[in-house]
A and B are shown apart, each in its own frame.
Chain A
Amino acid sequence: MQRLAPATVLTTTTRVGTPLGAVAEQYRAYVGQKLTQLAADVAQLRAGLPGNDRSSAQRRWLAAQLTWQQVGAAYGSFGRLGAAIGGLASGLPRGVADPAFTGLHRIEYGLYSGERLPDLRGSVDRLAADVTALRAGLAKLPIVPTDMPIRCHEILEDALRDHLSGQDDYGSGMAYALTSADVLGTRVVLKELKPLIPAPVLGHSPYDQSKAALDRLDAALDATKVSGRWPDYRSLTKHQRQPVNGAIGAALEALYRIPSALGKVQ
């Protein structure tokens, strides 16, 4: 993963005083809205558990998961609370049975492995508490302004690595739904950065190329829907997966140029 030189980061720890600092604060406000939505999604999920309607609980989990994806919490940018809310079982000694496996994917695992809904109450309560804590700490959360350009491709790097490999699927098969939400999150960051991206050189605009590539990725994702519904990713053949794999690869090859295009902006 490419990073800007450390010296660049050190000189841009101010908040609103720089162009990227202003973008970071815009992003903080966006995250705040999404976390408010996430809290509401989790409350809905929690309220539905006693009714013991599994497919309804699965839909409510997906709504929460997609809201979280749109936050664009790539590469551990929300620290411990980010891991508690959106973390995976990988790296935990007991895997899915590890007490440290918490949050949205833990709930997905329970919902799709036949765990009794009332038994998921503890996990949902814990998630609600973690979301509350993240919202409370958001104002003081350090958002390094120079990380904003990197986020342009990191969000979809995560999608490629985790969703499209099937590695973060705990039973739902919703890799394309999650990837689609990641595209939304990427578009938000890209739009905020747009005014700072230098004018095209020789007709090659990193912004235009990125936007066009994201449009093609969305089109490839939408083309996989059956009667308006996302397919179960695990059941797709290689031929069904190739268009999305190609489109996300092309999008990343465009988006990775944004950080260097912004290399001099602070």
Chain B
Amino acid sequence: MSVNRRNFLRGAAGTLAAAGVLGSSRPAQAEGRGGGGDPDPATISVPFLGANQSGIYRPDFVQKASCFAAFRLLVDDRAGLQALLQTLTTHIQSLTEGSLVGSNPPRESEIGGLDSGVLGAQVPPDALTVTVGLGAGVFTDSYGLAAARPRGLTTMPVFSGDSPEPDWTGGDLVLQVCSNAPDSVHHALRDLTRATRGMMQLEWKILGFHSGPRPTGAPRNLFGYKDGIVNPAEDEGLVWIDKNSGQPDWAIGGTFMVVRLIRMLVEFWDRIGVPEQNAIIGRDRDSGAPLDGTDETDLPNYPADPDGAVIPLDAHIRLANPRTAETDRSRLLRRGYNYENFGMSRNGNAETGLIFCSYQQNIADQFEATQLRLAGEPMTDYIQPFGGGYFVVPPGVEQFGGYLGEGMFG
């Protein structure tokens, strides 16, 4: 997290000027968390232009709200897909910069305006990012893209323990909308779906939230455990597709996105007692420390505990990241959110859990390798993966006028 935060603050400092352009009277505040105050998240504009899409290697601590929305394409040819990606790019850029999408005041010919008004007349940037991913269904002859399909981009296979529900699985295009506030996420998705109504339709949509530090450190998931403590730093080279990745040139600067919708059986979990929970996770619930440590950032010492006397061999953190030379390159960037859906399961249990989202250079070597190590872990009894998908995230747009995915079309 620390590396992410430094990167982020550089971005934030660079955008305080943009906040001024928007007429904000809020003064630029001191850098760093707890060091005299953070910039008001409403004024943070995450730069859209760049080699990579900007919503991936950004710290999510100012993005407490999210929506993951997967769509089916209704466009049926190359020109239609290009128009869709151009429309999305234009709108995402406007939304992240905080400019008005329509004109203000609306021209007389646009009674009602083109903006929903949900965020008021001046749309704040609100630390919004919208990440666009494309599913395997995009890379077909209909769009002239069969040859552009990245290696390893398939539909998501069914893993041991999965209970896939068709209504929550797959999609040709995914949007990960993250922001400082739920109304800002709503505003962005509403704008994007309006602009693209005839071109794509929702397959599934789920809202996620991030908890704040309780009381400090990484946010807790709905099992009560600090989650996302360990994420690879950007310069470790585990996330972005590069020229050595064996992928089509257009994908360089992109990444692969894996979304897993994981129902958590919190009622059962709450009945098993903290010692058992700790053994399943491998961390202390209160402090977040590995069971052989005292602080959440302590590194577990597996060589000193070869038989799992302290941290069981099948504990989640030990299987997910054994911290060996062989598994080092299977680490991935997690960008997940908690969810709580409307209503309840048929059995009366809460519909709640984790929107697991990971970014990696290679799905098989990173996500799937990790997933296979976790097969049969004791936590399996308390979770039900039921949806999600595999997507490739195109590189960023480097120059104004370009659009996401432009390189695919050769």
Contact = CB atoms under 8 A, between A and B. Distances in A.
Nearest to B203: A238
A260 B111 contact: yes
A259 B108 CA distance: 11
Contact of A249 (B108, B110, B198): B198
Contact of A242 (B109, B167, B194, B201): B201
A216 B198 contact: yes
Contacts of B108: 260, 263
B22 interface: no
B148 to A, nearest CB: 25
B111 A243 contact: no
Contacts of B64: none
Contact of A253 (B109, B167, B197): B197
Residue of A4, A242, A246, A247 ringed by the most chain B CB atoms within 10 A: A246
A252 B112 CA distance: 14
A38 interface: no
B197 to A, nearest CB: 3
A122 B109 CA distance: 50
A249 B167 contact: no
A250 interface: yes
Contacts of A251: 198
Contacts of A216: 198
Contacts of B74: 242-243, 246-247
Given A239-B72, A242-B74, A253-B194, A263 B201 contact: no
Given A213-B198, A246-B197, A246-B200, A238 B167 contact: yes
A261 interface: yes
A2 interface: yes
A243 B74 CA distance: 7
Chain A CB within 10 Å, residue with most, of B108, B198, B200? B198
A124 to B, nearest CB: 39
A205 interface: no
A37 interface: no
Contacts of A238: 167, 203
A245 interface: yes
Contacts of A201: 109
Interface string B67-89: 00000101000000000000000
A146 B74 CA distance: 35
Contacts of B198: 213, 216, 246-247, 249-251, 253
Nearest to B112: A2
A256 B113 CA distance: 11
Interface residues of A, number: 23
B196 to A, nearest CB: 9
Contacts of B203: 238
Q: Binding site of B, secondary structure by majority: helix, strand, loop or mixed?
A: mixed
Nearest to B72: A242
Contacts of A261: 109
A245 B109 contact: no
A260 B110 contact: yes
B240 to A, nearest CB: 33
Interface string A226-261: 000000000000110011011101111100110111
Nearest to A216: B198
B109 A263 contact: yes
Contacts of B167: 238
Interface in A1-39: 2, 4
Nearest to A1: B112
A238 B201 CA distance: 10
B199 interface: yes
A252 B203 CA distance: 21
Contact of A245 (B111, B194, B199, B201): B201
B397 to A, nearest CB: 25
Contacts of B201: 242-243, 245-246, 249
A249 B197 contact: yes
A112 to B, nearest CB: 27
A79 to B, nearest CB: 26
A2 B111 contact: yes
A238 B71 CA distance: 12
A259 B198 CA distance: 21
A215 to B, nearest CB: 12
Contacts of A247: 74, 198
Contacts of A246: 74, 197-201
A258 B112 CA distance: 13
A181 to B, nearest CB: 21
A263 B111 contact: yes
A179 B129 CA distance: 38
A251 B198 CA distance: 8
A209 B198 CA distance: 12
Contacts of A243: 74, 201
A203 to B, nearest CB: 14
14 contacts: A201-B109, A238-B167, A242-B74, A246-B74, A246-B197, A246-B198, A247-B74, A249-B198, A250-B198, A250-B199, A251-B198, A252-B197, A260-B108, A260-B110
Given A213-B198, A247-B198, 19 more contacts: A2-B111, A4-B111, A242-B72, A242-B201, A245-B201, A246-B197, A246-B198, A246-B200, A249-B197, A249-B198, A249-B201, A250-B198, A252-B197, A253-B194, A253-B198, A256-B112, A257-B110, A260-B108, A263-B108
Interface of B: 72, 74, 108-112, 167, 194, 197-201, 203
